[in-house]
Amino acid sequence: MAFVTPTPTTLRVSSFSPSPLCSRRSFVGTALSTPTTSFPASVLMNLRVAVVGGGPAGACAAETLAKAGIETVLFERKMDNCKPCGGAIPLCMVDEFDLPPEIIDRKVRKMKMISPSNVEVDVGKTLKPNEYIGMTRREVLDAFLRDRAVDLGATSVNALVTKLEKPTTPDGKYTLRYTDYADAVGGKSPSKTQQFDLVIGADGANSRVAKDIDAGDYNYAIAFQERIKIPDEKMKYYEDLAEMYVGDDVSPDFYAWVFPKYDHVGVGTGTVINRPAIKKYQKAIRDRAAVRLEGGKIIRIEAHPIPEHPRPRRVEGRVALVGDAAGYVTKCSGEGIYFAAKSGRMCAEAIVEASKNGEVVPTEDDLKKMYLKVWDQKYWATYKVLDILQSLFYRSDPAREAFVEMCGDDYVQRVTFDSYLYKKVTTVSPVDDIKLLFRTASSLLRENLREIADIKKPMGTLR
């Protein structure tokens, strides 16, 4: 999730407008099935799109395609998947993606930033009464988004996609091979195929689709989380409060967190530069938060890769990658849910437009121009700024002390929350920006000088 994310540009949140066309119900059931009902020729020749992966990216892509009447098949290997995740979403996602109130387990209005030397800074005082960070359980959020896509006409298939085969002619179809879990007999799931004009790879960080189109690799962080059920009186403290810890002990290049969930807390950390030590960092965050977690019981342990940057290729032929499969998690904050949903939707909107609502097959060029280029223009600066912030503030304990100190500043808090909650910067004061720049530079300098002075002191001298 994002905390200090002052972005240099104004990010406009585009609103989705449903297609005026009525929804043509998709006709896909089992592999290679042929419709037996007779449809008008234009409907039979409809564009067929496969969406691989039913997380936020895939579900939102499928929703948009289905709404436009495009024949959409959504493949998900585990319908009750509980993606390892902090589950924090920005406020704008609630409106933009029409999320009902029951999707939000908790509304976080207070944050504690905790420095390596355990200095605590309260963040959130600039929030308006109706503003909050939404805490969700992924099994609930993902199921809701997927069901909505199906209600709108997408066909969901409970299957593991095992291979994507490219067409042998320029206008040929893609063949998707999958193990159909829904059709298992005696514990054995049959292998099947279906053919598609276009494929959206929304299958997360270990994307099968990305491998099969040779999209190239990205560096990744490993994130670890324990869900801990703590006594009710301890849970009261976390009712609308989340904690973020920084320090070499909890992560050499990221932050550790305690996020409130429905009836427990998620406690986790992540790292890119020392992945084998992730359990050591997890123990350190548990130790740092020990008093607040006292009496707690670990109810679930989970870990997953987090992409560090986009893949070298995100569109190849008529295949497009979205969400984690494309590598759309922001550095510094590790935020990916909103960007997954948004990229799924934007990619699908590009397909709807380029295909004239399913009448023609979009080309690789269409996908590059109407999805990739638009995405990069909209979000490139956000990713870049967070990348810079991470390398500036997470590189050493003195820098982290300066970072936490800076978070106490009202202006930083306002800009941070505006950028995170709304994915835009509403009011930016150049004077305050310059003051902030000086304060940042002087905090960093002071902490670094302090560190140098400490190194020069004889052993045993206390600061």
Ligand X SMILES: Cc1cc2nc3c(=O)[nH]c(=O)nc-3n(C[C@H](O)[C@H](O)[C@H](O)COP(=O)(O)OP(=O)(O)OC[C@H]3O[C@@H](n4cnc5c(N)ncnc54)[C@H](O)[C@@H]3O)c2cc1C
User: By the criterion CB under 6 A, which residues form the site for ligand X?
Assistant: 1, 52-58, 75-78, 81, 83-88, 160-161, 202-204, 208, 223, 225, 268, 304, 306, 323-325, 329, 334-338, 340
CB of 361 to ligand X, least distance (A): 23
Amino acid at residue number 295: G
Gap between the Cα atoms of 267 and 293, Å rounded: 10
Cβ-based nearer residue to ligand X, 57 or 402:
57
CB of 255 to ligand X, least distance (A): 11
Closest distance of CB 338 from ligand X, Å: 6
Q: Are the beta carbons of 66 and 153 closer than 8 angstroms?
A: yes
Question: CB 459 → ligand X: shortest distance, Å?
Answer: 39
Q: How far is the CB of 449 from ligand X (least distance, A)?
A: 35
Q: Which residue has the tokens 């999730």?
A: 1
Q: For residues 1 and 407, which CB has a smaller minimum distance to ligand X in the complex?
A: 1
Q: Which is nearer to ligand X, 75 or 417 (CB)?
A: 75
Nearer to ligand X, 13 or 361 (CB): 13
Q: How far is the CB of 219 from ligand X (least distance, A)?
A: 15
Question: Nearer to ligand X by C-beta: 376 or 410?
Answer: 376
What torsion, rounded to 10 degrees, do the Cα atoms 269, 274, 279, 282 define? -30
CB of 233 to ligand X, least distance (A): 25
CA distance 345 to 350: 9
Identity of the residue, 227 or 414, whose beta carbon is nearer to ligand X in the bound complex: 227
Report the nearest approach of ligand X to the CB of residue 78 (Å).
5
Please, which contacts does 444-448 make with residues 24 or more away whose CB atoms are closer than 8 Å? 444/392, 444/398, 444/399, 444/402, 446/402, 447/398, 447/399, 447/401, 447/402, 448/396, 448/398, 448/399
- Determine the length of the chain: 463
Name the residue whose CB lies closest to ligand X. Answer: 336
Minimum gap (Å) between residue 430 Cβ and ligand X: 30
Q: Which is nearer to ligand X, 307 or 398 (CB)?
A: 307
Token pair, residue 377, equals: 């223009």
191-196 β-sheet, strand order: 191-196, 174-180, 155-165, 71-76, 48-52, 198-201, 319-321, 315-316
Is 24 or 304 the residue whose CB approaches ligand X more closely? 304
The CA distance from 261 to 87, in Å, is: 8
Q: State both tokens at 397.
A: 């304990």
Nearer to ligand X, 156 or 443 (CB): 156
Q: How far is CA 433 from the centre of its chain?
A: 28
Measured from the CB of residue 267, what is the shortest distance to ligand X in angstroms?
10
**Which C-beta is closer to ligand X: that of 340 or that of 421?**
340
